[in-house]
Amino acid sequence: MTLDSAVFRFAGLVVLASLALAHWIHPAWLYLTAFAGLNMLQASFTGWCPAASLFRKLGVRPGASFD
């Protein structure tokens, strides 16, 4: 697995989990969805993603997007 696929999988997991939690637990979990979306938007402009930095430190091999 490359860094790119790890970041995309993690982002998808966060969005889907927060939507499920908002549906079954409390609507305030939608703030997590908004945070994930804002983080993806920020990463598209700056090229820096906190999740990519974490996965890089964990030893996930580099991909094309987050070098």
* Distance of alpha carbon 42 from alpha carbon 56, whole angstroms: 19
SS3 47: coil
* Distance of alpha carbon 61 from alpha carbon 48, whole angstroms: 16
Asked whether the beta carbons of 58 and 10 are under 8 A apart, the reply is no
* DSSP class of 1: -
* Distance of alpha carbon 64 from alpha carbon 47, whole angstroms: 12
Model pTM score: 0.86
Q: In a structure prediction context, what are the per-residue pLDDT tens digits for the chain, which is 67 residues long? A: 899 999 999 999 999 999 999 999 999 999 999 999 999 999 999 989 999 999 999 999 988 876 6
